[in-house]
Structure formats: structure tokens, C-alpha cells
Amino acid sequence: MLKQRVITALVLMAFLLPALFAAAAWPFAVLSLLLMGAAGWEWGRLNGAGAASVPMGLLLAALCALALWAGWAAAPPALVWWAATIVWVLGGAFVLRGGPAAWPLIPAAVRWAVGLALLWTAWLALAHAKAIGINFILSVFCLVWAADIAAYFGGRAFGKRKLALAISPGKSWEGVWSGMLGALVLAALWLLADASWAMDSPSLYTRVSARFGFLGLALVVVFLAAMSVVGDLFESLVKRSAGAKDSSGLLPGHGGVLDRVDALLPAFPLALAWVSLT
């Protein structure tokens, strides 16, 4: 299993890194478009779409391509980010409160539409973050990764109170708090790096702190770390409701695309919502 995970990771990095560090924004936008199309197919499978799952994935990829053609990757409407914020905060609370048993009670057409809309918004946020600059997109990626890593080790070391036993038994409140602390430490270090070296673009942390101050930055970072947990729990809830361990087997050793990007889905649009105020 470890060998398989490493091989898959190396293959992904071989495609991802050149696209991410390319001078133009379109290679990363196209690569992430293909991945989101696969995530749309996974979403359909997890939500009972059956044979319609492939058309759902193709539709999502087509909608992403249409937005790219329209120039939205470079200049998207800010309203998109705030609409996503409302859906993730209010909708996320509603869905997590209901748990896995309540998810199938929502009409299938609603689940399909909401899932595709959230995936499309996440793709647009990824593409726009790349258009802003490497330093910016990496600052958001690393916030989610730092929160996840810190939550894992903090949960293992201190975890006692379960966060959502019916959804993800391994997660604890201590892990969540550790993740938030890890994200705050990363933000502080990144601010120092921004001040010390010339970057291609201001990071998320520099832009937010310039507008809202250090206290405002801390609140935004904690909020984004918390919402990354919501994204993770949301995908786990959908899989548990479908009786699936992974979203698919597209990434051997890693599961599916949704398994890899679940925490990123709310983090990028919500980060851009705050940046739109700067």
C-alpha cells in the first residue's frame, strides 16, 4: 500500500508541479479542470446517479471550461465567493447536524446540483488563485495542509473528546484546536517570509493582515482552518451515507479525487471571499 501511495503521489506531482509553476495560468486551470471533472463523476456515484455519473462529470468539466473561456479564471465575480461562503457555513452546519442518516432524505437532484455547484466554485477559486500568483495559491494550499497535519498529530497526542463520532470517529476537538494552532503558526511564519523576500504576489496572510490587522488575520485563519474541517467531514458524511470507504479508486493508494481535495473545497472560495474585501 505504501509503495502504491508513493508511486501515485510521484505521478501526480509530475503533472501538478509543472502546471502550478508555469508562467501562464491556463495549464493549472486545465489540469484542475480535469481533476474536478473526475470529482464530479465521483460525486454522482456517491449520490446514486448511476449511469448518469459520467455525464455529470463531463457537464462539470464543460462548465469549468466555459468559465475559463469567458475569462473568469482571471476576473471572476466576487459574488461567487460570498454565495459559496453562505452555502458552506449554513449548509454545512445543516448537513453535519443531520448526519449520514439524513443525507439521503434530501432529494437526489438537489444533492447533485449542490455538489456540482460547490465543485465548480472550488475549481474557479483554484484557477483564480493561480492567476493571482504562486505565493498566493501556495499560502492557501499550505494553510489547509498545515491545519490537517497539526490536527493529525495533535489528535493522536491529546485527542479525548470526539468531534463527530457518527461521521469520522478518528477526529477529536483537540485535533481541531491543534489544527487551528498549526495554521496560525504557519501564517506568522509566512508573514515573516513575505517581509524578508521578494515574492511574485502577496500571500493570503499579507493581504488579509494589511486590511484587517493581525487580530483580523488570526480570526480569518482560524475560520478557514475550521471550514477545511467542515469540508473533510462533509465528504466523509457523504461516503458513510453511501457505504463507501473511498470516493473512488482513481488514485491508487489514495482513494479518489474527492478524498484528496475535500478540505480544499471550502477553503479556497472562502479565502477569496475575504480577499475580495481587501
Q: Which whole number is the average pLDDT over 198-221? A: 95
Number of neighbouring beta carbons within 10 Å of residue 272: 26
User: What pLDDT score does 31 carry?
Assistant: 93
Q: What is the pTM of this model?
A: 0.94
* Cell output for 8: 501515485
Which stretch of 79-83, 84-88, 193-197, 252-256 has the lowest confidence by average pLDDT? 252-256
Judged against a pLDDT cut of 80, whether residue 6 lies above it is answered with no
Confidence of residue 1 (pLDDT cuts 50, 70, 90): low
The label of the residue with cell 508511486 reads: 7
User: What pLDDT score does 105 carry?
Assistant: 94
- pLDDT tens sequence across 126-153: 999 999 999 999 999 999 999 999 999 9
Judged against a pLDDT cut of 90, whether residue 159 lies above it is answered with no
d(C-alpha 144, C-alpha 136), whole Å: 13
Judged against a pLDDT cut of 90, whether residue 4 lies above it is answered with no
- Across 28-57, b (16+ Cβ under 10 Å) vs e yields bbbbbbebbbbbbbbbbbbbebeeebeebb
Judged against a pLDDT cut of 90, whether residue 78 lies above it is answered with no
Specify the pairing of strand 162-164 against strand 168-172: antiparallel
